[in-house]
Structure 1
Amino acid sequence: MGYQSVARGERFGFATLAAVMAAATPDRSGDALAGIAASSALERVAARRVLMDLPLATFLTEALVPYEVDEVTRLILDTHDAAAFAPFRSMTVGELRDWLLSPAATAGTLRAAAPGFTPEMVAAVSKLMRNQDLIRVARKCEVVTAFRNTLGARGTLSTRLQPNHPADDPKGIAVSILDGLLHGAGDAVIGINPASDNLGNCHALLVALDELRQSLEIPTQNCVLTHVTNSVQLLEAGAPVDLIFQSVAGTEAANAGFGVSLSILREAQEAGLAAGRGTIGQNVMYFETGQGAALSAGAHHGVDQQTLEARAYAVARAFPPLLVNTVVGFIGPEYLYDGKQILRAGLEDHFCGKLLGLPMGVDVCYTNHVEADQDDMDTLATLLVDAGVNFLITVPGADDVMLGYQSLAFDDIAYLRELSGRKAAPEFEAWLDRFGLARGAGTTRALPDPAGMARRLGLTA
């Protein structure tokens, strides 16, 4: 049917709703690469005018990716909660924006509304928002999950401790873990990207992580970020698999590129639940996403990368996860060109995930061929903490020597907690306090025995 809009006396036509969504998106290199970005700032304004007056219910009748060919679309529409959507059925996208920014949108009302929002709805409303709007609304959302500790409660800021090593050397990994623990990192998860996906290697890493956790009695969860089918095989072999990890995307074809489907993810979740390794909760899944994944797989169906990223959150939402994080600047400048685009994408992703009811974290990161630097990461991390991000990823010295990209350092989490007054997950905070590592009044307490921790990790004679 097409959509029409006028801006400054110039008429613009958009053939499809997907074209409107793409043209309304803030400038980013991935959409330009796909040939779907707005040709001018004026066209972007015209597209946003269309979105502003578009009834939310349109997204329930006009699929951006065809229902017949895509199981993610079928998941979104077949599981949509009509009762939760009822208060918003008569609203336009613009009216939803106004409601989200109003006092009527509280943690409770947003939690109740989440099942009624589709990814396309939240992606659309994000395109009408300034950065401060994304922060204000996301800050209202509270999403709490649990496994061996409780994550996401107000007043907390958690971290994934990422001790990657280019040779998967156990001592090198242990040194990184000790460094992270001494800075208060690791309550969300101690998660390794293995240099080798060999099942024997992954099994050995899992055993080492579990022995370390038990030795120091750390109330956290471990994860070796191997393919989901490997995790199932490792569970069958008796490996101590806490969380089942998988990268996911917003279309069936893009997920096929990752070697997964909804049925494979469902089987994996069932295996994780059957293991029963959680002590205070059973959120066993960990998902990772990133804008541009579908485009890089040639599986974007002409839909903009930010909307497809939001659709990836529908996949995650179907398997109530402990953790979800966008790796916001990892894919490269073809998708997010510079620090400004990375910053905007990070705030969008966090907003959309939280609005859909997910425990959102962010890997605040960039590759060395992107027009960005660590100052950009400082800015984004600080804004995300103000927006109430559940967790951030931290690596030794902000430099992941195995994956070859820049992230946040362990010391950054100390700065962010000091700045915001937030603490680690309560069970982990109590553990830090027992070791004299908890931070209070903006200062680090004396460390009674870091050498003793090192000995228990096998790092000293």
Structure 2
Amino acid sequence: MPPNSLKTLLAEATPARSGDFLAGLAAESQEARVKAQRRLAETGLSDILATPLIDPDRDEVQRLILDQHDDEAFRPISGLSVGEFRDWLLSDEATTDAISALKWALTPEMVAAVSKICRNQDLIAIARKRPVVTKFRTTVGEPGRLSVRIQPNHPTDDAKGVAASILDGLAFGCGDAVIGINPATDSPSAMRRLLELIEELRLRLDCPVQSCVLAHVTTAIDAMGRGAPVDLVFQSIAGSQKANESFGINLAMLKEGQDAAKSLKRGTVGEDVMYFETGQGAALSADANFGIDQQTMEARAYAVARAFDPLLVNTVVGFIGPEYLYDGKEITRAGLEDHFCGKLLGVPMGVDVCYTNHAEADQDDMDNLLTLLAVAGVNFVMGVPGSDDVMLNYQSTSYHDAAYVRRALGLKPAPEFEAWAREVGVFDEAGFLMPEKQRGDAGLIARSKLLEAAE
């Protein structure tokens, strides 16, 4: 199949979204979309494998995708069409072990193709079968658990403001994924100052958490060279070499950052040291999508992520804006697609359940997506004070939202963090946030520890 034919088929089979209309790639009508989905369902997985969407001589991400592929692991499914593979994934034969064994057999284009012919409930049911577990100071992604990133951003990186947000999050049982700050200034000195703040809080509280300042990978490498207490190295990534160049990175830089962080040996239960963020529309906004629909390009970013054994990957699903995902329905669909594709590729997926203020979406849409993702087994979500990020100016999920969904679905935090939170009186013996009236002496201990750390 010619690459352009496969690109057109994948794009026209994609559920409607504003970014593909913006790029001139979307199907002209719902009838045309359904016809494309039927043709895609009949397309062989082997045909997709044999049709690189970007010339590998021009694109290191395409070369990485081809190099990652395991022919032997692919053999059991090599004769299946996209539709037959979907049917198998939904069957009882597709156990967690069976799906996990396909990690290196699957390419991003294969899983993107399958997602395009799935209903939302299919995306949830299949992703739920495929947990991806990673470790640093906490173990993230085990079934029955939901971790939360504390996102204590401040428009001026004010230490008291950041610390207050962190302590508020810890009091709600959040932070077991990471305490991750988007810095107002991307410099080694600013990064080090924020990392030392988190490090002091962590040590005072004797709390099993990991920290990350979401600066550029080169800034993190510089900071590590200056002795900064770096736990996780962050970077935004995308699905083509050109798109990654727009972020000022390449694969070699990511490997350098990973090696530097591993050499510090700061993990206690594991050494997964990378944190990546992605989002549908990133490649298109950089004019680096090569005529490929935005959801397929997003899946290609996960091939980059899995090459570096990350602790955390999250799609910031509604952050880029309504030009790419117009309303709550499109954001919901994209979040479920991204989680599904990442999990099938063996990536530890979290989702920033979010929207910008000029999108046709609201917190009810986010409540719906949060609940659906938690049912699907998402590794982690964001904890933002009051759901409103005062530095990045967008709407996400709050500490209260995390408490709601854990209680509603019986989900617990990472085991190491749960044990700490129970010891200091944040959680009860069942592993849930302790009601204020029941905290008693344990609550006093928790509050005193948090206040001591704040001072």
TM interval, shorter chain, is: over 0.9
Q: 2:269 aligns with which of 280, 294, 297?
A: 280
Q: Is the 8 A contact 1:339 1:372 kept in 2?
A: yes
Distance across 1 between alignment mates of 2:410 and 2:427: 12
Distance across 1 between alignment mates of 2:153 and 2:177: 16
Distance across 1 between alignment mates of 2:4 and 2:447: 66
Aligned positions of 1:318-357 closer than 5 A:
318-357=307-346
Match of 2:362 in 1: 373
Give SS of 2:103's match.
helix
Match of 1:96 in 2: 85
Give SS of 2:118's match.
coil
Give SS of 1:97's match.
helix
Q: How many residues of Structure 1 are paired with residues of Structure 2 in the alignment? A: 448
Distance across 2 between alignment mates of 1:288 and 1:458: 30
Cα displacement string for residues 324-365 of structure 1 (whole angstroms, at most 9, x for unaligned residues): 000000000000000000000000000000000111000000
Q: CA deviation at 1:458?
A: 3.1
Q: CA deviation at 1:15?
A: 5.5
Q: 2:454 aligns with which of 452, 458, 461?
A: 458
Give SS of 1:57's match.
helix
Over the aligned positions, Cα root-mean-square deviation in angstroms equals 1.2
Q: Is the 8 A contact 2:45 2:78 kept in 1?
A: yes
Does 2:183 align with 1:187?
no
Aligned positions of 1:15-414 closer than 5 A:
16-414=5-403
Match of 1:8 in 2: none
Distance across 1 between alignment mates of 2:445 and 2:185: 34
Match of 1:449 in 2: 445
Cα displacement string for residues 376-414 of structure 1 (whole angstroms, at most 9, x for unaligned residues): 000000000000001001100000000000000101111
Give SS of 1:392's match.
strand
Give SS of 1:408's match.
coil
Distance across 1 between alignment mates of 2:171 and 2:72: 47
Give SS of 1:449's match.
helix
Cα displacement string for residues 133-176 of structure 1 (whole angstroms, at most 9, x for unaligned residues): 00000011111110011111111110000000111011111110
Distance across 1 between alignment mates of 2:413 and 2:444: 20
Q: Is the 8 A contact 2:174 2:383 kept in 1?
A: yes
Q: Is the 8 A contact 1:157 1:424 kept in 2?
A: yes
Distance across 2 between alignment mates of 1:448 and 1:457: 14
- In structure 1, the gaps of 5 or more residues are 3-13
Q: Is the 8 A contact 1:178 1:453 kept in 2?
A: no
Q: Is the 8 A contact 1:84 1:115 kept in 2?
A: yes
Aligned partner letter, 1:291: Q
Q: Is the 8 A contact 2:387 2:398 kept in 1?
A: yes
Question: CA separation of 1:184/1:153 partners in 2, compared to 1, >3 Å: closer, same or farther?
Answer: same
Q: Is the 8 A contact 2:205 2:450 kept in 1?
A: no
Q: Is the 8 A contact 2:147 2:379 kept in 1?
A: yes
Cα displacement string for residues 220-278 of structure 1 (whole angstroms, at most 9, x for unaligned residues): 10000000011011111000000000000000000000011011111111111111111
Task: Please report the TM-score for the alignment, with normalisation by the length of structure 2.
Answer: 0.97
Give SS of 2:454's match.
coil
Match of 1:11 in 2: none
Task: Please report the TM-score for the alignment, with normalisation by the length of structure 1.
Answer: 0.95
The answer to which of 332-341 and 191-200 deviates more is 191-200
Percent identity for Structure 1 against Structure 2: 59
Q: CA deviation at 1:122?
A: 0.1
Q: Is the 8 A contact 2:422 2:431 kept in 1?
A: no
- In structure 2, the gaps of 5 or more residues are none
Q: CA deviation at 1:455?
A: 2.9
Give SS of 2:156's match.
coil
Aligned positions of 1:7-18 closer than 5 A:
16-18=5-7
Q: CA deviation at 1:180?
A: 0.4
Aligned partner letter, 2:323: E
Aligned partner letter, 1:108: D
Runs of 4+ deviating beyond 6 Å: none
